Amino acid sequence: MGITEEEIRARIRSIPDFPQKGIMFRDLTPLLKDGLAFQRVVQELANRFGGQRPDAVLGIEARGFILGGALAFLLGVAFIPARKVGKLPWRTTRENYTLEYGVQGLEVHVDAVGKGERVLIVDDLLATGGTAAAAARLVEKLGGRVLGVGFLVELLYLHGRERLRDYDVASLCRYESE
């Protein structure tokens, strides 16, 4: 019950000039609205990474929570939320990453990953790779091992995969240009 790249692309809405002029926003909400397509996307990620037997799935705020939570449920493993700075209620560890307009941070609880735990990182979209690389550093800082990094969409023209070259990276739908 896989899903093809063409089927995914048909359910992604492209919105020009959002959030600013010159940006083509890839809106995943039509895909999420299609329950069967959403199920097939999560199953496809499970097919790609499930054989590696992760202990946990780390989802990156916010849309990575949607995919990551569903994938963790399907695989029967723990879910770890990686949140923007200041959103988690207990002791955290933080990794910063650079955006084109400044520096942002990502946090997880200090007990989110145990030593030697095998973690799959999931987010909706791979652009420049900074956020996913920060998530990988968080896992490793806590003693875990990154099994792979999975995305629904990859923007190839931003070369984010280069920042993740030390990891097994999978994307289900790729865009070569805006």
Q: Is 100 one of the catalytic residues?
A: yes
Q: Is 63 one of the catalytic residues?
A: yes
Burial of 25 (0-12, 13-18, 19+ CB in 10 A): middle
Considering the candidates 6, 91, 100, 176, report the single residue annotated as catalytic. Answer: 100
Phi, psi of 25 (to 5 degrees): -85, 130
**Contacts of 141 by beta carbon, 8 Å cutoff, 6+ apart:** 93, 95
Answer yes or no: are the C-beta atoms of 11 and 37 closer than 8 Å: yes
User: Can you point out the beta strands (E) in 9-128?
Assistant: 13-16, 24-27, 56-60, 78-84, 92-99, 102-109, 118-126
Q: Is the torsion defined by CA of 126, 88, 48, 161 positive or negative? A: positive
For residue 97, what are its two tokens? 């990453």
Considering the candidates 11, 26, 40, 63, report the single residue annotated as catalytic. Answer: 63
Report which of 99, 110, 103, 162 is spatially closest to residue 141, judged by C-alpha positions.
110
Task: Give the residue numbers marked as catalytic.
Answer: 63, 100
